[in-house]
Amino acid sequence: MFPSVNSGYTRANQRRGQAMHEETAAASGALIKFFGAPLIGSMGAIALGFILLWPRTVKEALSRFVCTLLFSMFFGPVLVLAVRSYFPNTFEISKEIAMMYGVEPAFGFLFVAAPLMAAAGLPVWWIMGAFMRWFDNRRDKDIGQLAHDAAETVKEVKGSLL
């Protein structure tokens, strides 16, 4: 019947709690926007890597996964910036296409950027696979024998190119 003494205090706390939830949601959204596109691109590279060249062991798969993810997340945006500096019209046209489809222009940017970020991670998948298989075939050798095998491989490749 009578308002309690603590009702104002409770309402103020509820409002503060609501504001904190909104701030947390905004921060989460910013993190998703910041890491989302590189992560999507790197996951695409990893998926393509698994489709094209399946790893032999779990250790090989895990190391390829981590290296491709990191390389794509760090060098994918660099590749996007390089392409954007040489071909700026590509990104502008993709934004216009996104608006034609009725989505935000930022998605148009992702139409071009996501495949580029995936492409930035693919070479690492294959290079890591080649190194891991090369070292796996030479598991029982010491560092000197590995260096000798590497020199022989370089000579074979150089001879086949000339």
* Residue boundaries of the structural domains of the chain: 38-161
Are 67 and 45 spatial neighbours (Cβ–Cβ below 8 Å)? no
pLDDT (tens, 9 = 90+) of the chain, 162 residues, equals 555 555 555 555 555 545 545 555 555 555 555 556 566 666 666 676 666 667 778 888 888 888 888 888 888 889 989 999 999 888 888 888 888 888 888 878 887 888 888 788 888 888 888 888 877 777 888 888 888 888 888 888 888 876
Q: Which residue is associated with the tokens 């294959």?
A: 126
The angle at the Cα of 64, spanning 122 to 70, to the nearest 5 degrees, equals: 70
